[in-house]
Amino acid sequence: MSILIKNGRVITADADREADVLIEGETIVKVADAIDPAGCPDAEVIDASGKYVFPGFIDPHVHIHLPFMGTNAIDDHASATRAALAGGTTTVIEMICPGPDDEPRAAFDEWKRLAEAGACCDFTFHLSVVRFDDVAKQQVRDLVANDGVASFKVFLAYKGALDIADEQLFELMEIARELGVIITAHCENAEAVDAMQKRLIAEGKTGPQWHEPSRPRCVEADGVGHLCAFAELTGAHVYIVHTSCRDAVEQAMDAKGRGVNVFVEAVAPHLVLDKTYAERPDFEGAKYVMSPPLRDAEEHEHLWKALASGDMVTIGTDHAPFSFRGQKDMGREAFTLIPNGIPGIQERVDLIHTHGVCEGRIDLQTMVSACSTQAAKIFGLYPRKGEIAEGSDADLVIYDPAFKGTFSQSVSESQTDYCGYEGMPRKGRSKLVFLRGTVVARDGRYTGGSSGGRYIPRPPTH
């Protein structure tokens, strides 16, 4: 089937112009200033007048099947990816998070099986390395060679649970450099966080408002410096996830200035929420506990400026959906027991449009670059994803910038029992979302069928 999208404002990372887009089957076959419908008489014509036409958005940092703090994230692959598509995200990169005793191969097979059974959008994975014996080392190599895994995650946090020793980190980064894959990293100082948490709990400071003081900015900046030192020594490419503050960004940019191959990610919560949310009374602040934590509101402008300048190159969500009742409230006696994370896979694009573009902090091309194209380029999906060009997948979003509303859990496809952005103004939403040429969402609501997403293997690109 052919589809002709006419009269839209086509916006990519590199261009902003009035153009038409022709789709045949699952692929974009032509982009031109004007395409005559008479030349494709069998095509369905969609008038995108007054609308933006974006490449499908890519979320480079999501958690779906996530065991954490003795429970599991409330979303499954069906609900999370329906939410993604409703918000204009057509591809997700999920973090595989095995336990320290799990083999990497078994974890990959488990996550891939679950995603193939339920995912409604396309997907690929970062694989967390929390075990690094000889078996794990060989399996890492096999997954790169045979399964299209091209990015791995390390934690410089969560002492005794997910962190790995420095000698293992060094060797992993040497292997990454050899194989041409990238290391994504949660950067904090695990020892310092552990010590601060124990001290605060001993002092009776147990509520969610003490989460941020247990892992302050200096702890995050220290983790970034530590990772970048190892990258400088090994030559590995590194990608710093959910960077929350100026000090951490500056550490990364100092390293980049020395020639370190480092990319920096922002996530939506750190751009629009601040630590007062985690200080809300009656334990409601637990809804906003994530790591690194929400910071002072003054950090927002630093992060937006870093996105505008290109110091930060991507915007993800760190979607980690734990319900307030029955999950977050496990930590009523101690903030260290609150499952970390704020849901947001559906809200991301509209949040960035509302608070970034509409407020003049970034332009539309930067939005597309940070929410789609850069992730595709860094993680080996480009130009199949993240672009509007001949031969690219027909993942497209026709976006209505005139829409006005509010964010609400009542319209969310996620199974989480709250929306972290409840009642906040919303400017713009996806009018139509195409996944490989098929409309799967309309007016901010999922309209596709069950499953249908595909695993995207990726070649080493670094």
Q: What is the CATH number of domain 2-54+388-402+427-445?
A: 2.30.40.10
Give exposure, 365-404, as e/b (b: 16+ Cβ within 10 Å): bbbbbbbbbbbbbbbbbbbbbbbbeeebbbbbbbbbbebe
**Helix (H), strand (E), coil (C) string for the chain:** CEEEEEEEEEECCCCEEEEEEEEECCEEEEEECCCCHHHCCCCEEEECCCCEEEECEEEEEECCCCEECCEECCCCHHHHHHHHHHCCEEEEEEEECCCCCCCHHHHHHHHHHHHHHHCCCEEEEEEECCCCCHHHHHHHHHHHHHHCCCEEEEEECCCCCCECCHHHHHHHHHHHHHHCCEEEEEECCHHHHHHHHHHHHHCCCCCHHHHHHHCCHHHHHHHHHHHHHHHHHHCCEEEECCCCCHHHHHHHHHHHHCCCCEEEEEEHHHHHCCCCHHHCCCCHHHHHCCCCCCCCCCHHHHHHHHHHHCCCCEEECCECCCCCCCCHHHHCCCHHHCCCCECCCCCHHHHHHHHHHCCCCCCHHHHHHHHHHHHHHHCCCCCCCCCCCCCCECCEEEEEEEEEEECCHHHCCCCCCCCCCCCCEEEEEEEEEEECCEEEEECCEECCCCCCCCECCCCCCC
- pLDDT recorded at residue 269: 98
- pLDDT recorded at residue 180: 98
Is 307 in contact with 265 (CB distance < 8 Å)?
no
Give exposure, 408-436, as e/b (b: 16+ Cβ within 10 Å): eeeebbbbbbbbbbeebebbbbbbbbbbb
**Among 85, 93, 91, CA closest to 60:** 93
Write the CA distances from 109 to 140, 247, 271, integer angstroms: 13, 38, 34
This prediction has a pTM of 0.97
- pLDDT recorded at residue 158: 78
- For residue 420 the two structure tokens come to 């972290």
> Where in the chain are all domains bearing CATH 3.20.20.140?
56-378
- For residue 359 the two structure tokens come to 């407020």
d(CA 284, CA 276): 11
Is 96 in contact with 423 (CB distance < 8 Å)?
no
CATH class of 56-378: alpha beta
- pLDDT recorded at residue 161: 75
Enumerate residues 6+ apart whose C-beta is below 8 A from 119.
77, 78, 81, 92, 451, 452, 453
- pLDDT recorded at residue 1: 80
d(CA 287, CA 308): 29
> Where in the chain are all domains bearing CATH 2.30.40.10?
2-54+388-402+427-445
Residue 281 exposed, middle or buried by CB count within 10 Å (0-12, 13-18, 19+): exposed
Give exposure, 306-331, as e/b (b: 16+ Cβ within 10 Å): bbbeebbbbbbbbbbbbbeeebbebb
The parts of the chain modelled with pLDDT lower than 70 are 160
